[in-house]
Structure 1
Amino acid sequence: MRFGDIPEARIDRAIDHAGLVFHDTYDEDERAGHRTFLRRCERVGAYDGEPLVGLLAAVPLQLSIPGGQLPCSGVTFVSVAPTHRRRGVLTGMLDELWRRCAAAGQPLAVLWASEAAIYGRFGFGPGTQLQTVEIDSSRPLDLRVTPDPRPLRLVPAADAPAVIGPLYEATRGERAGRFARDVYWWSESVLPEKAEDEDDLGPPRVVVLGGDQPAGYAIYRVRDTGGDAPDAVELIELEAETPAVAAALWKYLADIDLTAKVRAWARPADDVLPLIAGDRDQVRVVREAPALWVRLVDVTTALTARSWAAPVDLVLDLRDAALPANEGRFRLTTDAKTCTYERVTDPADLSLDVRELSACYLGGARLVHLLRAGLITEHTPGAARVLDDALHTEYLPFTTDEF
């Protein structure tokens, strides 16, 4: 088995391979979109002789972390031919990816897991959570917060990035787990004219509250439910500077004529909507699930780049079967301004796998819960709670950007 690059001339072969594995047939518009996206990616192929039997793509991204941002590798299109399963193909492609991450200065890798059982053994942990919320909008939305009275306006999708982009970037800095967006990302990922594989969804609509500098916005589509049934509003993204602004946007969505439901497929686990709902039977959280999976590729760089909420002086005994440079005992020392992470021979306070450290890195998972589950070992009583306090963030990490 050989692992190496997929040249641009063979991108169509890679698309055919993905269609085989994911049981998809792509029309020419879909193929054109995949070509454009794959040209932006690192492309790792697995070859058995000449045939391509494995594909892994990695798009370069900038991910918000507590106190800043880091370059990361967004792993996608992971697929292994059905003839070559359980032969080390995925392991070989990821080993090649780790080398490329090191060369590109990407201390993190992230992905959306199509099969959650796979990626933990490669060091990925669920670093963000989402909840899906549904509103019964067949009656007026009951809220405990008075909506912001400023006027709302609709913005054409083509103009939206210039109008709402600055607010997105500002809120991105407040919450870890979110990606920087360029013009391509806004147009092809967030606001494409047609929703992928969703023929019953209308075009994207963007509503903004406020003047030249919006205080909030919502991106949504309307789903045609067919027949005489009322349609449904599908929320893609909502950002608001205050609860009152959020209330105004949610009320707008719930008041759209000829619809009876608002569905937000992904909202933060600490979203204000369930708290400000006057009737929790009207606003229901119908699903909670892991979202973005995180892998610390260069643990030292990742830990020393983020901010810390409390001082720490602990020795971590870290296991990392795939990347030996990360494995061993390290003393983590932080204060309000600095962080060091250095290899030592001192006794460990905590023993854990890189999978668990990756899950906790953005502030979304808690070590005390992992300790209770038997997934980490505490050698010094209270060490897990000390590290939790230092990893704490005001807002839980969250992302909606799929790739």
Structure 2
Amino acid sequence: MTTTNTNPTTEATALRHEIFSAGFLPAAGDAEPQVDQRTADWFRAVRTGFHEQPYTAPEVARLAGTYQVDGRVLVGVYDDEAPAPSLDADIPVATFAEFRKTLNTGAGNLLESHLITVVTVRPSHRRRGILRRMMTDSLDRARDAGLPIAALTASEATIYGRFGFGPATTLDSVRVDVKGGLPLVAPPEGQVVAVDPASLQQLAPALFERFHASHRGSIGRQEAYTLRATGRLAEDAAKDDPTLRAAVHLDDEGTPQGFLTYSFAGWNTSPVTMKVRDLVAATAAARRELWRYLGAHDLVERVEYGAAAPDDALPWMIDDPRRVTVTETEDLLWLRILDVSAALRARQYGADGSLRLRVTDALGYADGTWEVSVAGGTARVDAAADAGPADLELDVALLGSLYLGGTSVRALAEAGRLRASSDEALARACTLLDLPGAPYAINGF
């Protein structure tokens, strides 16, 4: 997740930028682990940037441990010349983090990608070029490492387009009327059993990997999701969550095919509500049965879920689809293409064919004209050998939005966001680039 209102107009030349990993102090016997001061100060700046109370020392240590597992690289920006009585100069005025996970680009292709998160800038230091430098430095590191795509989730939608990011996936928040049960049309398959969340330590990551491999748009999960699934990381604090409940779907052979974590919203809710924390299903049957289980809780009248796919089958599972109400649709994954050739070679395509693309990129990473030729589902992508006209002209941010098939070529053309050389070229681009179904990512980061 990222947040900042920075609109840089000048260079942040007087500020100190440090790149480091979350660090711990040497352990002393059986004492609880403690992070070093630089790491503690960085987390304090993050919490301030997101308008949250500071973490306690044990909470910081728990989160920092997950950062180490994920291999996160942290960036802190420091103002050593801030006038008194400013905050301690060792507390960053801006934060940034990056790490790597795979992106499912379709047809089971998992592409290592550059993930950006926890971006904050102190209000007193806006418009000093801080965000631009942090972002371009990070994108440079990704390009130099040979990573063709960068990704982030944005708290504010108007900031990151200028850096070449385009929204690529969306999620629906739904509320489901389960008063009197949730009658599913399909007959039951297998069974759902209640489990201790702690038992999901190995199972939750394994089931997610199966989901990840089979869903275009899915992004690899960080260690924090395992802690959340097992009740060691609460929704609003980095500590144990005693309210968490869990269940696992077993198929007819007793093999786990999905899991669910959820919590009771309390008797003061009206209607009485259960909230889904996580729902990961490796099969369609597992997803159906986990919803059947949610609807079988006595006294509960509503279930709320914030990570439904835009084309979720849930309304069709139920005898009365009006029981499902979409309350909000939000973008989740934003993509930034850094290497057009490598990214498009890794992508899924709707059909064979060819297309000449002109991509504009103010930052220069992806700027150029590209010949795309797809045969047997495999793409060849070469820089154009001449300056001839392109079939399709678009900005790199729009290429990010088209990349997973979450937005159609024709919709962007009708919006005036891209230009096709002819109706025939537009039709050819739609046939080649549009994909069936919506991409589905369920992770924030």
Looking at structure 2, the residues matched to 385 and 161 of structure 1 have their Cα atoms a distance apart, in angstroms, of: 48
Over aligned residue pairs, what C-alpha RMSD do you find?
Answer: 2.5
Partner letter of residue 19 of structure 2?
I
Looking at structure 2, the residues matched to 306 and 192 of structure 1 have their Cα atoms a distance apart, in angstroms, of: 36
The answer to whether structure 1 residue 397 and structure 2 residue 439 are counterparts is yes
Looking at structure 1, the residues matched to 66 and 438 of structure 2 have their Cα atoms a distance apart, in angstroms, of: 29
Identify the residue that residue 43 of structure 1 maps to in structure 2. 74
Looking at structure 2, the residues matched to 190 and 356 of structure 1 have their Cα atoms a distance apart, in angstroms, of: 35
TM-score, length of structure 1 as denominator length: 0.90
- CA 1:174/1:390 → structure 2, altered by over 3 Å: closer, same or farther? farther
SS in 1 for 2:49: helix
Looking at structure 2, the residues matched to 365 and 202 of structure 1 have their Cα atoms a distance apart, in angstroms, of: 38
The answer to whether structure 1 residue 145 and structure 2 residue 186 are counterparts is yes
Equivalent in 376, 382, 385 of residue 336 of structure 1: 376
TM-score, length of structure 2 as denominator length: 0.82
Quote how far apart the aligned CAs of 1:245 are.
4.0
- CA 1:309/1:139 → structure 2, altered by over 3 Å: closer, same or farther? same
Query: Conserved in 2, the CA contact under 8 Å of 1:235 and 1:263?
Result: no
Looking at structure 2, the residues matched to 333 and 105 of structure 1 have their Cα atoms a distance apart, in angstroms, of: 22
More moved, 354-363 vs 66-75 = 66-75
- CA 1:316/1:171 → structure 2, altered by over 3 Å: closer, same or farther? same
More moved, 193-202 vs 130-139 = 193-202
The answer to whether structure 1 residue 30 and structure 2 residue 59 are counterparts is yes
Quote how far apart the aligned CAs of 1:44 are.
2.5
Equivalent in 328, 331, 345 of residue 290 of structure 1: 331
Partner letter of residue 354 of structure 2?
D
Looking at structure 2, the residues matched to 329 and 383 of structure 1 have their Cα atoms a distance apart, in angstroms, of: 15
Query: Conserved in 2, the CA contact under 8 Å of 1:3 and 1:92?
Result: no
Q: Deviations over 1:137-170 (max 9, x none)?
A: 122223332332x222223323325335444323
Specify every segment of 5 or more residues in structure 2 that has no aligned partner in the other structure, as ranges. Answer: 1-12, 24-35, 82-88
The answer to whether structure 1 residue 14 and structure 2 residue 42 are counterparts is yes
Query: Conserved in 2, the CA contact under 8 Å of 1:71 and 1:105?
Result: no
Partner letter of residue 260 of structure 1?
E
Identify the residue that residue 230 of structure 1 maps to in structure 2. 272
More moved, 2-11 vs 355-364 = 2-11
Looking at structure 2, the residues matched to 37 and 90 of structure 1 have their Cα atoms a distance apart, in angstroms, of: 25
- CA 1:191/1:128 → structure 2, altered by over 3 Å: closer, same or farther? farther
Identify the residue that residue 58 of structure 1 maps to in structure 2. 98
Quote how far apart the aligned CAs of 1:235 are.
4.4
Looking at structure 1, the residues matched to 350 and 271 of structure 2 have their Cα atoms a distance apart, in angstroms, of: 50
Quote how far apart the aligned CAs of 1:354 are.
0.6
Query: Conserved in 1, the CA contact under 8 Å of 2:359 and 2:368?
Result: yes
- CA 1:76/1:192 → structure 2, altered by over 3 Å: closer, same or farther? farther
- CA 1:217/1:12 → structure 2, altered by over 3 Å: closer, same or farther? closer
Looking at structure 2, the residues matched to 202 and 229 of structure 1 have their Cα atoms a distance apart, in angstroms, of: 19
Quote how far apart the aligned CAs of 1:111 are.
1.4
More moved, 211-220 vs 59-68 = 211-220
Partner letter of residue 256 of structure 1?
H
Q: Within 5 Å, which residues of 2 pair with 1:134-173?
A: 134-148=175-189, 150-173=190-213
Quote how far apart the aligned CAs of 1:319 are.
0.8
Q: Deviations over 1:257-295 (max 9, x none)?
A: 232211111111111101222223312122222111111
Looking at structure 2, the residues matched to 388 and 121 of structure 1 have their Cα atoms a distance apart, in angstroms, of: 25
Hey, which bits of structure 1, 4+ residues long, moved more than 6 A? Answer: 198-201
SS in 2 for 1:246: helix
How many residues align? The count is: 399
Q: Deviations over 1:100-145 (max 9, x none)?
A: 1123332211111111111111111111111111111122223332
The answer to whether structure 1 residue 384 and structure 2 residue 426 are counterparts is yes
Specify every segment of 5 or more residues in structure 1 that has no aligned partner in the other structure, as ranges. Answer: none
Identical aligned residues as a percent: 30
Equivalent in 116, 136, 141 of residue 95 of structure 1: 136
Q: Within 5 Å, which residues of 2 pair with 1:2-401?
A: 2=15, 4-7=17-20, 8=23, 10-28=38-56, 29-39=58-68, 40-49=71-80, 51=89, 52-67=92-107, 68-148=109-189, 150-181=190-221, 184-197=223-236, 202-210=243-251, 211-226=253-268, 230-239=272-281, 241-242=283-284, 244-322=285-363, 324-344=364-384, 345-401=387-443
